[in-house]
């Protein structure tokens, strides 16, 4: 089941790169912005931190962390093998010799440690891949509390989003990733679980959530930045 926001048109955006007014023009479909009057919501971006992290640096970081991840993966495989060795010896009728190195508790602790390291490596790689995608496409992505991360110029920048009042009712607005598509799964016991399949950047009125405007993540022209 899709909500009434999921069928809206993508709105156009124009404006400057930093500190310039950016207009989010409401689309013709009234389901997304709650108004057919063509109202316009506006915001400005203020760079809070221009980081030195570029797409090239993120690429090298991904390669480096991937190489580090080989070690816990190998040690995890080795620990699993040592844990299964007594069972293998049992089926092959070999004598089982238990020593400190083959202690099940000791090996179990090693498995947990290396598994934890591997999970951390995977999480770091996922974050780096996401950030690299932002710099590669040079888009703006919502964070929290009206902050955003931008990849304009193939470099990461943290921005503060200053939003004008709602053009429809004058209420305070927020900038965030809004769920617009999801998939419902119904289980035999009658319970339904909803999984979000798509989110889009949006400005939404806190007073009336129906006053919502989709934001183009690639609003700023690349050739104006370089």
3-14, pLDDT tens digit by residue?
333 333 333 333
Once rounded to an integer, what is the mean pLDDT over residues 111-126?
89
Whether the CB-CB separation of 178 and 5 falls below 8 Å is answered with: yes
Tens of pLDDT, residue by residue over 149-165, are 888 888 898 998 898 88
- The token pair at 4 is 């009434």
Any idea where the domains of the chain sit in the sequence? 13-52+154-224, 55-136
195/199 Cα distance (integer angstroms): 11
What is the structure's pLDDT at 125?
Answer: 93
Query: Is residue 202 helix, strand or coil?
Result: strand
- Residue 45: band (very low, low, confident or very high) from pLDDT cuts 50, 70, 90: confident
pTM for the whole structure: 0.64
């Amino acid at each position: 089941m899709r909500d009434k926001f999921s069928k809206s048109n993508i709105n156009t955006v124009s404006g400057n790169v930093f500190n310039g007014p950016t207009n989010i023009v409401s689309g013709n479909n009234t389901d997304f912005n709650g108004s057919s009057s063509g109202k316009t919501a506006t915001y400005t971006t203020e760079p809070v931190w221009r980081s030195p992290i570029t797409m090239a640096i993120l690429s090298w970081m991904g390669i480096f962390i991937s190489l580090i991840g080989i070690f816990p993966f190998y040690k995890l495989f080795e620990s699993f093998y040592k844990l299964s060795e007594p069972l293998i010896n049992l089926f092959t009728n070999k004598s089982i010799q238990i020593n400190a190195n083959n202690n099940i508790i000791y090996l179990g602790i090693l498995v947990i440690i290396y598994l934890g390291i591997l999970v951390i490596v995977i999480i770091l790689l996922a974050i780096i891949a996401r950030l690299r995608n932002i710099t590669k496409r040079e888009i703006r992505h919502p964070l929290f509390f009206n902050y955003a991360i931008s990849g304009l110029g193939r470099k990461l920048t943290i921005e503060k989003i200053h939003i004008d009042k709602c053009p429809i009712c004058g209420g305070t607005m927020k900038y965030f990733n809004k769920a617009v598509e999801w998939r419902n799964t119904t289980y035999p016991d009658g319970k339904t679980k909803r999984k979000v399949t798509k989110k889009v950047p949006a400005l939404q009125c806190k007073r009336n959530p129906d006053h919502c405007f989709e934001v183009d993540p690639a609003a700023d022209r690349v050739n104006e930045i370089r």
